[in-house]
Structure 1
Amino acid sequence: MKPARTLMGHCLLRGARPAICDRGSASPVIVAVIAVVMVLTAALAQVGAGLVAAAQASGAADLSALAAAREFRDLRALGAGTARSLDQACDAAEQVSRRNGAALTACTHAANSSVV
Structure 2
Amino acid sequence: MSVLLEFAMFPTSAECREGSSVSHKVAKIIDMIDQSALNYQLTPMGTIVECESVKEALGIVERAYEQLEECERVYSTIKLDIRKGKLERLDGKIASIESKLGRNVKH
Report the TM range for the smaller structure's normalisation. 0.3 to 0.5
TM-score by length of 1: 0.34
Normalised to the residue count of structure 2, the TM-score between the two structures is 0.36
Q: Report the structure, 1 or 2, having the larger strand content.
A: 2
Larger relative contact order, structure 1 or 2 (CA cutoff 8 Å, min sep 6): 2
Q: Which has the larger radius of gyration?
A: 1
Which one has a larger percent helix, Structure 1 or Structure 2? 1
